[in-house]
């Protein structure tokens, strides 16, 4: 198990890495204004947390 800081992981696009507060259209919807990637917000955040852990 690896501990990572989950701060802002729900505001960062897992595809292109761009980050902005307006990506969270609703509590459940994530849409990147840079690349257009759409995902469930929790799923997108989970992928970002996974990537942070793997980078350690």
Q: Tell me, what's the pLDDT at 21?
A: 77
For residue 25, what pLDDT band results from cuts at 50, 70 and 90? low
Q: Which residues contact 53 (CB under 8 A, 6 or more apart)?
A: 2, 4
Q: Which of 16, 56, 55 is nearest to 39 (CA)?
A: 16
Q: Measured between alpha carbons, how far is 23 from 38 in angstroms, rounded to an integer?
A: 9
* pLDDT, average across residues 16-45: 87
Percentage, residues of the chain above pLDDT 90: 62
Percent of the chain with pLDDT over 70: 95
pTM: 0.85
Q: Mean pLDDT, the chain, as a whole number? A: 90
Q: Name residues whose C-beta falls within 8 Å of residue 21's C-beta, 6 or more positions apart in sequence.
A: 11
Among 9, 16, 54, residue whose Cα is nearest residue 38: 16
């Amino acid at each position: 198990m690896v501990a990572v800081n989950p701060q802002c992981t729900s505001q960062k696009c897992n595809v292109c890495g761009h980050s902005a507060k307006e990506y969270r259209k609703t509590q459940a919807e994530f849409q990147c204004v840079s690349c257009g990637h759409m995902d469930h917000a929790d799923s997108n955040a989970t992928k970002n947390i996974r990537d942070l852990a793997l980078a350690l």
